[in-house]
Structure 1
Amino acid sequence: MDREKPGELEIISKKSADFFNYLESRLISLSSPGVRPGLKRISRLLASLGNPHLGIPAIHVVGTNGKGSTAASLSAIFSASGYKTALYTSPHLIHMGERLRINERLVAEEKWSDHFNRLDAALKQDEKLRSDPPTLFELITALSLSITAEEMPDIAIVEAGLGGRLDATNLINPVAMSVITSIAMDHESFLGDTIFKIGEEKFAVLRPHGKAFFSGEPEGLVPLFKVLCKKLNVSGHMLSEDWRVENVRSSYNGNEYDLVGSDVKLTGLATHLLGLHQVKNTALAASSAWELKDQFANVTEKSIREGLHNVKWPGRLEWVNENPPLLLDGAHNPHGMASLVKSLKVLFTEKAQFVILFAVMRDKDYRTLLAMLSELNPKSLVLTAVPSLERSAKPEELLRMAKGVFRRNSQIEAYDDAEEAYHRARRFGLPVLCCGSLYFVGWLKSYLERVHHGNGRLSA
């Protein structure tokens, strides 16, 4: 791959951001607080909206880590194949309009407004929904599916939320393929306290007589996947067994690799998504798309190659052309952080110096996350909190924890004010890794857009 300049952040107009922030606030006012697994509320709401979740062939992307980049890669591949696509992902980084794209483009504000009015009317007319409102995720999912149904895409790529069996997205039908990315410990209070229980929740999305593609990670869940596929008469595939990834070349500009299946060899596949974990995510998308050729005949070697080359997925090892340069990554659980650390060890040499800017949610295993980051031996660790977010861990608590796991030659600082923390991290004149939470990455991208707004680009 030829070396390219670091990426630039997409400019979002203040008017557009204000609209979606207002829309989200309206949805919050209509919703039940927190996470409330279950399908009764969303089923009733979708029925009142004319069942927009039915009739459009979908790829349902489920897992713990890598869902978003896998879904985005699938969307790019099917768009490159000439199909009209819908892509629904979560969470958003800057505003909720990012969660839905039609043919790789954001949906017009007017369309969001029109479908919100329909949703608002449906909620007001239903006594049960008024007394037991859907959650925010359920409302955004219903709203996005309503828009998608009107757009009538050839295929919808739908990323699940935190679960599987009881996730609001699990009502979509028909499902052309269930794609399961790597599974790891996360959201244990909702999904189970063992990897097997979490695997059962994720694999519960398999459709009888349907198709499924599992990354094969962790290996301990492979037998469960095979048993369920046999029980449900599912045509099941695994990246770890049915395909081979070879000749991986990783750099600051992305990854190149060869992907070998039983009937095809895709050589020199290239993606600008950074990190070794993106080899697995994009390979999972490419092989899943290939296995759907019987239903979507326009998928070819050329369109897979073009799709992977074009795919973008902000906030995940996103290389931003600031001065000094920034790397933004939303890794927030041990599995995701392990992938990030492994990738950084490849990208940075032993002598390369950089600074880590870190914020995390208090319900995450941040001691383990900090211990993993300590392996990188950064010049400095700067700790902070996401502004106006109660879930964010306190910087003083992170400081106490970090002092117990970081090496003495790393300078450790903590600041309550995230803007101050950002500028303190930049004072070293070294690359800055910003990580620990997608909420934090989203806040930072918004802050950078405010700082640079009007310049036409986000580079110093």
Structure 2
Amino acid sequence: MEPTSELRNFIAEAKAMGSLPGLDSIRRLLDRLDNPQEKLSVIHVAGTNGKGSVCSYLQSALSLAGYRVGVYTSPAVFDERERFAVDGLWISREEYWRQAERIRRACLDIRAKGFPQPTIFEVDTALAYLYFLDQHCDLVITETGMGGALDATNAVEKPLCCVFASVGMDHMQMLGSTLEEIAAQKAGIIKEGRPVVSTWQDPAVRSVLTDVAKKKGAEIRFADPGEITEISGGRIRCGDYELSPALEGTFQIQNSVLALHTLLLLRDEGYAISDEVMLEGIHRAYWPGRMERILSCPKVYLDGAHNLPAALQLKRTIQKKFTNQRITYIIGVLADKDYDGMLRELLPLAEDVITVTPQNPRALDAKSLAKAAKRWHDHVTAASDFCEAAGLALRGGSDVILAFGSLSYLRDIKSAILKRNEEMSHV
């Protein structure tokens, strides 16, 4: 269907609401829609870094095992439709608008009773559950938007299991100023008696997750870094299993091992997932904007690292993967992130640095970012737009070009780099 003006206005109004943490609004909306989430088997994934990659590994393996798997993630990297996928296939535009119209009508009833308009994230969360129910999904993998306790995805009362990727310092203005406070927010997704799987965590985070799980009578399993041995060619030995993660970067060791432990838990819960399917699924997974290589000559990578913990992981990847290679960075950040910490850790590894302004209301402009970067590097250029940044990087003669700092601009810089590379190849 084609969206009506009323439907487009409804989506615009929902976007204008911004982000309002809390569960009352999403519960009202889902209740009005006959609670589709209660009819789904949901794997709920929280964490600071790695959630999306873990979701991709799980979906790949579970789909390969023959299950119909819905995945709801955020934010979008290249297209809003990618956030609603079944067995790796995005929702169609027609289906998105059809489901959105159902939600618009529900919201009219809600507002008629004096309640406020739901936010866009609440609308999208409800839309995801409606869509996955209509698609007869056997399993649904849901990624929290931010935090956990007050996140709209936490309206799911009885998840199949809860999964925790790495928890670190991010969104401090919303989640708390200490690691313990942030962990407590994320631990809010743990439900009474439902099993929990976590990657290895900072001791403070592990303590919080363990305490909450104990109070909820929930069994919790932690992956153990001591059981992991790196082999070669990106392969990892984890106990009796040899993994070859499809996604690049040292941080994918942690993410793929967490996915493996989650799949083993699901097998214990009765799901038919063979060893071969688990390993092949992890090997086949795809997730955009996570050390994603878009060109081979020069090697051009996109990475969504946007906070200090992710920057430290990216630093380890660069040191391991790009030894003795000339590297040009393209960096765009949001002003409310710890970009100075990221610059401090990563800039010493680069030969040249190009800054850009993401198309986001919270963006730090390229000139201000360049000024901050010059504290740590002598060769910094503020690009006027993405096309200029792409041209400067491709003409620079580096072995590797790496764009990072925010997921919000990766679509734009990818398009600019591919277009500029095509133009240069015909000169």
Indicate yes or no: 2:399 matched with 1:424. Answer: no
Report if aligned partners of 2:229, 2:238 keep a CA contact under 8 Å in 1: yes
Match of 1:386 among 334, 342, 358: 358
Q: Deviations over 1:338-396 (max 9, x none)?
A: 101111110011x21010011100111111111111231x2210111014x22110122
Instruction: Please tell me whether the aligned partners of residues 60 and 175 of structure 1 are also in contact (alpha carbons under 8 angstroms).
Output: yes
Query: Whose helix fraction is larger, Structure 1's or Structure 2's?
Result: 2
Within 2, Cα distance between the matches of 1:326 and 1:150?
Answer: 39
Q: CA deviation at 1:328?
A: 0.3
Query: Which one-letter code corresponds to 2:235 in the other structure?
Result: E
Deviations 1:433-457 (A, max 9, x none): 011000111222344577799x9xx
Q: Which residue of 2 aligns with 1:258?
A: 237
Matching residue of 2:372: 401
Identity of aligned residues (%): 28
Residues 444/121 of structure 1: CA separation in 2 closer, same or farther (3 Å cut): same
In the alignment, does 2:215 pair up with 1:231? yes
1:307 corresponding residue in structure 2: 281
Q: Could you list the per-position Cα deviations for residues 40-59 of structure 1 after superposition, in whole angstroms to 9, with x for gaps in the alignment?
A: 11111111122111121111
Letter in 2 for 1:429: G
- Aligned 8 A contact 1:58 1:173 in 2: no
User: C-alpha displacement at 1:324, in angstroms?
Assistant: 2.5
Instruction: Quote how far apart the aligned CAs of 1:123 are.
Output: 1.4
Alpha-carbon distance in 1 for matches of 2:142, 2:186:
14
Identify the match of residue 64 of structure 1 among 34, 45, 48.
48
**What's the CA shift for 1:67?**
0.4
Instruction: Identify the residue that residue 406 of structure 2 maps to in structure 1.
Output: 437
| Counterpart Cα distance in 2 of 1:363 and 1:130 | 34
Shift of 1:130: 7.1
Alpha carbons of structure 1 residues 168 and 275: separation in structure 2 relative to 1, 3 Å:
same
In 2, Cα distance between equivalents of 1:210 and 1:390: 39
In structure 2, the CA distance between the partners of 1:248 and 1:176, relative to structure 1 (3 Å rule), is: farther
Structure 1 residues 331 and 127, CA gap change in structure 2 (3 angstroms): same
Query: How many residues are treated as equivalent by the alignment?
Result: 423
AA in 2 matched with 1:444: I
Q: 2:255 aligns with which of 269, 272, 281?
A: 281
Structure 1: distance between partners of 2:73 and 2:265: 22
Residue of structure 2 equivalent to 1:414: 382
> What is the aligned partner in structure 2 of residue 75 from structure 1?
59
The answer to whether structure 1 residue 172 and structure 2 residue 141 are counterparts is no
* Mapped contact 1:55–1:173 kept (Cα < 8 A): no
SS in 1 for 2:361: coil
Distance 1:288 1:120, change over 3 A: same
Q: Which amino acid aligns with 2:316?
A: K
| Maintained 8 Å contact 2:158/2:191 | no
Q: Is the 8 A contact 2:10 2:104 kept in 1?
A: no
RMSD: 2.6
1:32 positional shift: 4.5
Partner of 1:110 in structure 2? 94
**Could you list the runs of 5+ residues in structure 1 that have no partner in the other structure?**
1-17
Question: CA, structure 1 residues 23+307, in 2 after alignment: closer, same or farther (shift >3 Å)?
Answer: farther
Whether the 8 Å CA contact 1:337–1:369 is kept in 2: the answer is yes
Quick one: structure 1 residues 61 and 199, their matched pair in 2 at CA, closer, same or farther if it must change by over 3 Å?
Answer: same
Q: TM-score, normalised by structure 1?
A: 0.86
Partner residue of 1:356 out of 297, 318, 329: 329
- Give 1:367's aligned residue: 340
Pick closer, same or farther for the CA change 1:323–1:103 going to 2, 3 Å. same
In structure 1, what residue type is equivalent to 2:180?
F
Q: Which amino acid in 1 is paired with 2:334?
A: M
Unaligned stretches of 5+ in structure 2?
Answer: none
- Contact 1:331–1:337 (CA<8 Å) still a contact in 2? yes
Change (3 A) 1:26 1:318: farther
Could you tell me how far apart the structure 2 residues matched to 1:459 and 1:271 are? 36
Q: Contact 2:158/2:194 (CA < 8 Å) preserved in 1? A: no
Which residue of the partner structure matches residue 3 of structure 1?
none
